[in-house]
Structure 1
Amino acid sequence: MSSTRPQLTDEQALRYHYLEVMKYTGRAGAERVDPWDPKADTFMAGKSAVKPDFRVGEGGFASIQLAVNEAVKKAKAGAISGRAYIAIEPGTYEELVYVPKLIVDGKPVAITLYGLSDDATATAIKIAIDQGMTGAEYGRRFTPVFDGLEPEIADIFRANAALPRLSTENASVLRVENDGFQAKNLTIHNAYNADRADVNSHCEDGKGGPKNANGQFAIGWHQAVAALIHNADRVHFENVGFRSFQDTLYFKSRVPGHTVRSFYSHCMVEGDIDFIFGRSTAFFDACEIRSLGSRVGHTYVVAPSTNIATRYGIVFNDCDFTHDGSAAALKGTFALGRQWFQTVRATPYGTPNIEGYRTRLAETSELDHPPLGTISLDVLEAVGKCVVMNSRIGAHIDAKAPWDDWSGGSRNADGEFIPGLWNSKYRPVQYTSGDFHRYLKDWLQAEGLSYAEADPAEPWLAEYNNS
C-alpha cells in the first residue's frame, strides 16, 4: 500500500471502536468522558415500539414542522419530559424542518422523528434551498410556514430571512439544534439541482459556463445541505437517506474547538463535492456512501475540519463506498476527500509565487493588503481527521492516492491530477500530526506558537482492513 494510503495498526484500530469515539465531548484538548452507546436504544435498534406523542399525516398534523412546534410548546408547558416521539405517515413532505435546542427546567428535551414505514424512501422531507438564495427570497417562500411558531423555531427563520444571502449552514432542509435528537426511517432530500447562476458570474450562463443536459452547472454552483447538525450533541440517525449534490450532510459546533457527537447507522449519503463535512465528531456504521458523477468530473466524499486537539473527526466503519455508474465515476479517479481549510484567505503552507508574500497570525483570516495576509488560530487549527475501517471502497475512488490537497491542483478530462500553481488558500494533505510540524515548523516558531509533537505521530487520515 502506498504512503498516500496510510494504514492503522491493529492496536491503533482498537481506539476507533464506536464506543471509544462516541464517549468524548466538550472543549478540544480538554474533552470530558461522557459514555454514550447509541446502539443501546432499543427503539432505534428495532427491538421495541413506542407510542407516539404526535402524528403527522392522516388524522394528525399536516406538516412535520407543525408537529415539532407542538412538541416544543407542550414541553415548555410541562406536558412532555425526556423525549417527544413524532410518527410520520409515508409520503413526501415539501417543507423545511427546524428542530431547536429545547431546555426545560434546566434539562434537555429530545425529539425523535420516525417514518412509519421501514422503507426510508417511503417517507421523505424534500424541498429545494441553496446557498445562492437571498434572504428576501427565503422570506417570501417560507414566512407562511414559520409565522406564529414558537420563538425557538421562529427566531432561526427570522435570522435567515434577514441575511442578504443564505450561507451554507442556512441552506439546509433539516436543521437540528436539539440535543439527543433522533431520526429513523426517513429520507432528507435537498432538491436543488445545481442550476442557479452565481451572482458573481462574469459569463452569460453563470460562473460554471454552459449547463449540462440536466440543466446543471459543473462549477460555480451553490451549496445545498440536506441536513445540518448545528451544535447538537448525541444525535442519532438510523435508516435515513441524505440526498443532494454539494455539501449534503454538515455537522458543526457553534463554538470552534468544541466537540459534539453524531452517529449514523444503516444510512445512505449521496453527493459529489465535500458531501460529508464539518468540524464535529461523527461515526458512520454500516452505511452506504454514494458518489455522484453526473455533473462533475471529480468528487470528494469528505471534507473534515476537525480541530487539532479534538480526539476524533469522521470515522467510517463497515461502510460501502459506491457510485452512480456515471462515466466520470468509471474513470476511477474520485477522491475519498480533502481536509477543509475552512475560511482560509492566506496560507502559511507551500512556496509562494507572490513577491513579498507573508502570512501572520491574527484574530481574522484575511488577504486584504496583499502580499501581506493573516490567518486566525481557529483556521490554522482546523486540520481535518478521518479514518475509514473495515469498509468496501469502490473502484471509483483513486486507489493510489485517494486524498487530495486543498486548492492544490485540478483534474483533467481523463481524471489525471495536475498540480496547480501555488495559491493563497493552498494546504497539502496532512496524513499525520507529523506532517503539520514538518510543513510549518519554522513558521510556527516565528509566530510564537508551540504544539506538542506526538510520538509516534497521531494519524489524521488513515485506513484499516478495507477492500
Structure 2
Amino acid sequence: MPSRRSALTLLAGAGAALALGTPAAAARPAHTRPFGRYGSPSRRLDALTLYVDPLGRGDHTDVASAVEAASGTGHTLVLAPGTYRGPVLVTAARAELTVIGASGDPRDTVIVHDNAAGTPRPDGSGPYGTSGSATVTVQAAGFTARDVTFANDWLRSDNPEYTGTQAVAIKVQGDRSAFHGCRFLGHQDTLYADSLALTAFARQYYRDCYVEGDVDFVFGRATAVFDRCDFRTLDRTDLAAAPYGFVFAPSTAGANPRGYLVLRSRVTSTAPDAYYKLARPWVPSSDPTAHPMLTVRDSHLGAGIDAVTPYGTMSAGFPWQDQRFAEYRNTGPGARVTVPGNRPQLTASEARAHTPADWLGDWRPRA
C-alpha cells in the first residue's frame, strides 16, 4: 500500500514533477533564482511583497508565518518552489492578499497538511470537524492565488478506524476570491467554496484550475464560477459498487440567486465508467432553507459520470429534483440525455442569464 504522500503524487497525474513532502529543489536542479521574475528580498518589488522559501532564501520559510507577517491590506506573497506543510489561516483582516507560485507551474509549489474531520485535536477538545480539517482557510476578501497547489493528503486507507473522513484542502469564504492556474488535491471535500455567513453571498472565480477527489469534492454555499477547469474523479478500493461519489455538492442559501456555475470545463475519471454522479444537493442542518444551485454548461462530461442518473439526493427531505440544477450544451458520454427527466436543460433564452458576468456582477477578476 503506498504512503499518503506517494499516493497523492500518483493521483496528481502523469508528468507530476513534485512528490508531496519532497522539496522541489531535491527533484530539480537548484534554482538560482527561486523567485523567478518576482524579484527577491534584495530586489523587492515593493514594500508589501514578502518572499517565502523553504531553503531560507526568503523572508520566511513557511507560508503560515508569512501570512501572519502580512498584516493589513494588499500584500503579496511570492512562494519559491517547494512543499510547505502545515495549516494556514488568512483572516479577514488580511484583505487583498495575493499568493503566487514563483515558477509558474503549480506542481512546483504545494501547500499541504493531513488533518481530517475525525482527527483528534491535540488539546483533547474533540475532533477537528470538516472546517477545521482545512489545510488553508481564507476568510479575507479580495484573495488571489496563482500557480499554487493546495492539498490535503490524509487517506482513508491509513486511518480505517475514522468515521469523519472529510479532509479539506482549502476552505474559501471571502468575497472576490480568485484562483488562476491552481490545483486542489484531496479525496472527500477537497474544495470548500463557501461564505462567511448565510447572508454573505461570497463571489469566487476559478480559472484554468484542476480539482480532484471522490465524495462531494467541490461543495459549499459560495457564488462560484469554474471557468475552463478540470475535475477528476478518483478510483476507490474501499467500495465494491457504484456510486463512488459526487463531484459537486452545493449548499446555496435560499436567498442567493446564484450558486455554482461550471462552464467550458471537463470532468474525467480514473474510476470505472458511470461510477460517479455529477452532483447532489447539500442542505445542511445549519440551514434547512438552503436551495442548492448548480449550472453545468458547455462542458465535456467523461464516461465516469452516470449519464442515466447523474444526480443524487443527500437528504431524503430535499430531493435533487426540487433544487436549482441545470445543464446546457454539454458533450461527452457522461452528458448523454437518455432519461430526459433526469437531465434538466436550460433553454437558449435561460442560458443567456447563466454567465460569469451575471454571476459576478460588478466584480471583474484580474486576468
| Smaller-chain TM-score bracket | 0.7 to 0.9
Q: Is the 8 A contact 1:293 1:299 kept in 2?
A: no
Larger CA Rg, structure 1 vs 2: 1
The equivalences for 1:156-171 within 5 A come to 163-171=125-133
**Residue 192 of structure 1: which of 149, 154, 167 is its match?**
154
Is 2:218 aligned against 1:276? yes
Q: Is the 8 A contact 2:50 2:78 kept in 1?
A: yes
Is 2:54 aligned against 1:92? no
Correspondence for 2:327: 463
CA distance in 2, matches of 1:282, 1:115: 23
**Residue 319 of structure 2: which of 420, 428, 439 is its match?**
428
User: How much is the aligned-residue C-alpha RMSD, in angstroms?
Assistant: 2.1
Offset at 1:255? 2.1
One-letter amino acid of the structure 1 residue matched with residue 64 of structure 2: Q
Q: TM-score, normalized by length of structure 1?
A: 0.57
CA distance in 2, matches of 1:252, 1:173: 15
SS at match of 1:275: strand
**Residue 246 of structure 1: which of 179, 184, 188 is its match?**
188
**Residue 101 of structure 1: which of 67, 75, 92 is its match?**
92
Change (3 A) 1:241 1:276: same
**Residue 110 of structure 2: which of 99, 124, 130 is its match?**
124
Q: TM-score, normalized by length of structure 2?
A: 0.72
CA distance in 1, matches of 2:152, 2:275: 26
Offset at 1:382? 1.0
Correspondence for 1:403: 311
Q: Is the 8 A contact 1:132 1:196 kept in 2?
A: no
Correspondence for 1:291: 233
CA distance in 1, matches of 2:253, 2:91: 25
Is 2:62 aligned against 1:63? yes
Offset at 1:332? 1.5
SS at match of 2:182: strand
Q: Is the 8 A contact 1:287 1:319 kept in 2?
A: yes
C-alpha distance after superposition, 1:15-70 (max 9, x if no partner): xxxxxxxxxxxxxxxxxxxxxxxxxxxxxxxxx97836110114211111111111
Q: Is the 8 A contact 2:297 2:329 kept in 1?
A: yes
Change (3 A) 1:249 1:270: same
Q: Is the 8 A contact 2:116 2:164 kept in 1?
A: no
Q: Is the 8 A contact 2:283 2:289 kept in 1?
A: no
The equivalences for 1:118-267 within 5 A come to 118-136=104-122, 163-195=125-157, 197=159, 206=161, 220=163, 222-230=165-173, 232-267=174-209
One-letter amino acid of the structure 1 residue matched with residue 117 of structure 2: Q
C-alpha distance after superposition, 1:166-223 (max 9, x if no partner): 11111000110111011111111101011465xxxxxxx637xxxxxxxxxxxx4511
CA distance in 2, matches of 1:89, 1:318: 31
Q: Is the 8 A contact 1:247 1:275 kept in 2?
A: yes
CA distance in 1, matches of 2:84, 2:197: 32
C-alpha distance after superposition, 1:89-144 (max 9, x if no partner): 011111211111117xxxxx3211110111111110122111111222xx5xxxxx
SS at match of 2:135: strand
SS at match of 1:258: coil
Relative contact order (alpha carbons < 8 A, sep ≥ 6): 1 or 2 greater? Answer: 1
CA distance in 1, matches of 2:221, 2:57: 41
SS at match of 2:75: strand
CA distance in 2, matches of 1:288, 1:177: 25
CA distance in 2, matches of 1:266, 1:224: 23
Offset at 1:280? 1.5
CA distance in 2, matches of 1:227, 1:130: 12
The equivalences for 1:347-362 within 5 A come to none
Identity level (%): 31
CA distance in 1, matches of 2:118, 2:320: 29
Q: Is the 8 A contact 1:94 1:127 kept in 2?
A: yes
CA distance in 1, matches of 2:153, 2:199: 32
Correspondence for 2:34: none
Offset at 1:405? 1.6
Offset at 1:254? 2.9
CA distance in 2, matches of 1:251, 1:391: 20
Correspondence for 1:310: 256
CA distance in 2, matches of 1:235, 1:400: 35
One-letter amino acid of the structure 1 residue matched with residue 57 of structure 2: G
CA distance in 1, matches of 2:175, 2:321: 28
Aligned residue pairs, count: 281
Q: Is the 8 A contact 1:123 1:186 kept in 2?
A: yes
Q: Is the 8 A contact 1:102 1:110 kept in 2?
A: no
Q: Is the 8 A contact 2:118 2:165 kept in 1?
A: yes
Correspondence for 2:298: 390
Q: Is the 8 A contact 1:249 1:275 kept in 2?
A: yes
Offset at 1:341? 2.3
